[in-house]
Amino acid sequence: MPLRILVVDDSVVTRSLIQEFAEGLGHAVVGEAATLGEAVAAYQSQKPDLVTLDLSLADGDGIAVLKTLRGLDPQARVLVVSGNVQQAVHDEVRMAGAAGFLSKPFTLEDLKRALARFTQG
């Protein structure tokens, strides 16, 4: 089943890459955001099935976005996409409710595997 995805990243290049890859896999990108405020507004208006979320945003950190989205909707499914591979960061995003973690840089196959977990069941 195709996913409706909100892409949150302060990099236009990364947002475009995720959109290109996701749409090539049959999913729909229903919104993009570069800041916490944009992410919350887009989530509320679009009600996506999944949010891809970078941890480094122009106006703060992605963990604040993750916590805000999960506060608004405890069922929100968030895939953190980050170049930060420290175990402490992985643990923190899991504790904050992230549904998965995808390390940057990633390939089409990496994203395909990550998204497949959200399309099953």
Residue 109 in any domain: the answer is no
pLDDT at 121: 52
| Global confidence as pTM | 0.95
Give the total number of structural domains in the chain: 1
In the chain, % of residues over pLDDT 70: 99
To the nearest 10°, the Cα dihedral for 95, 119, 121, 83? Answer: -20
Residue 85's domain comprises 4-98
At 87, which CATH number? 3.40.50.2300
- The alpha helices in 4-61, defined as continuous H runs, are 12-24, 36-46
